[in-house]
Amino acid sequence: MNPARIAALGLAALASIGPAWAAELPDAVKKAGALRLTVNATYAPMEYHDPATNELKGLDIDLANEIAKRLGLRIVWSDVAFAELIPAIQTGRADFVISGFSDRVSRRDNADFVDYLTTGAQFFTLAESPAKAEADLCGKKVGAVRSTAFPAEIERWSKANCEGAGKAAIQYVPGENSIDVRNQLKQGRVDAAVQGSETLPYASANEPGKYRILGAPFTVGYQGIMFRKDAAELREVVTATLAAMIADGSYKAILARYDLAANAVSAPMLNASPQ
């Protein structure tokens, strides 16, 4: 059995201790009575601003609020550019980051990830696009957020499926965030785009008839709550709280609110993504 999975099962069992875990919060967090959390609120339905109220909304927001409630803490939110999420952890401006952030081996030198949601990179086009399958994107312009893992994943897919088949490579076009990438698609500056599979059902529902998904996700991984390496105490408390939420069904209810119940994990896992 995967060591990360074994660790997850052990933490899930410890979660039955319940509120006693709050007593093991780091002293600085207990003294503040708050968690300082950072997001990049451009990745609906994971985190976004309500157009009417500008209030933070989303699956990650709901999960974090429930975790904080169970620990008897309030949350002080900050909203930054995606490229600032890792620096927010490294400089101590954030206690942890829960923001549609993929657990990747390359990111674990300075951070640990508590994996809580399955994800995968997925191609999509405008509904009227002539592209009918992923292979039709060879030689075409494909947009993705520059500071994510998507550019490298697109390049790998292109080498295997386009160049490897004697076709022209995909031309990657960078975007600042997922909103920018979708705008480039609508403006005809790219032929297709890549986002996490967890965001596309929401985007399609929000703009009916606008997009068409091509194929299945071409990567498999997890989104993770990101902690500093030296924040093991807080990480374990949050992991146990999340495990308790999975056990009592509140975690699955939050995912179902955003039509992402199929992306659920059976237990939180530490640094489990294979990518």
Domain assignments of the chain as residue spans, ordered by start: 3-119+221-270, 121-214
Phi, psi of 240 (to 5 degrees): -65, -40
pLDDT 10s digits, 59-87: 999 999 999 999 999 999 999 998 899 99
> Can you list the alpha helix ranges (DSSP code H) found in the chain?
3-14, 27-32, 59-70, 85-90, 150-161, 178-186, 200-206, 232-248, 250-257
Query: How many Å separate Cα 247 from the centre of its chain?
Result: 21
Length of the chain in terms of residues written:
275
Topology agreement, domain 3-119+221-270 and domain 121-214 = yes
pLDDT in the model for residue 198: 93
Give Cα separations from 160 to 121, 157, 197 (angstroms): 15, 5, 21
pLDDT score recorded for residue 3: 41
Per the prediction, the chain carries an average pLDDT of: 92
Supply the pLDDT for residue 228: 97
Amino acid at 51: P
CATH code that applies to domain 3-119+221-270: 3.40.190.10
DSSP string, 147-187: TSSHHHHHHHHHHHHTGGGT-PPPEEEEESSHHHHHHHHHT
104: left (phi over 0), alpha (psi -120 to 50) or beta: beta
Residue for token digits 């500056």?
Answer: 189
Cα(84)–Cα(176) distance, integer angstroms: 12
Instruction: Compute φ and ψ for 194, nearest 5 degrees.
Output: -130, 130
pTM above 0.85, yes or no: no
Residue 269's DSSP bridge partners are 115
Amino acid (1-letter code) at residue 228: R
d(CA 118, CA 221): 6
What's the half-sphere exposure (Cβ side, CA atoms, 13 Å) at 150? Answer: 29
State how far the Cα of 35 lies from the Cα of 2, in Å rounded to an integer: 31
Specify whether domain 121-214 bears CATH 3.40.190.10. yes
Tokens standing for residue 154: 């697109």
CA-wise closest residue to 116 among 36, 195, 253, 226: 226
- pLDDT score, position 170: 98
Query: H-helix or E-strand containing 42?
Result: strand 42-43
Q: Is the backbone peptide bond immediately before 217 cis, with ω within 30 degrees of 0? A: no
pLDDT in tens, 178-227: 999 999 999 999 999 999 999 999 999 999 999 999 999 999 999 999 99
pLDDT truncated to tens, each residue of the chain (275 aa)? 444 543 444 444 444 444 444 448 999 999 999 999 999 999 999 999 999 999 999 999 999 999 999 999 999 999 999 889 999 999 999 999 999 999 999 999 989 999 999 999 999 999 999 999 999 999 999 999 998 889 999 999 999 999 999 999 999 999 999 999 999 999 999 999 999 999 999 999 999 999 999 999 999 999 999 999 999 999 999 999 999 999 999 999 999 999 999 999 999 999 998 87
Amino acid 147: pLDDT? 86
CB 141 within 8 A of CB 191: yes
Q: Scanning the structure block, which residue is given the tokens 């480039």?
A: 184
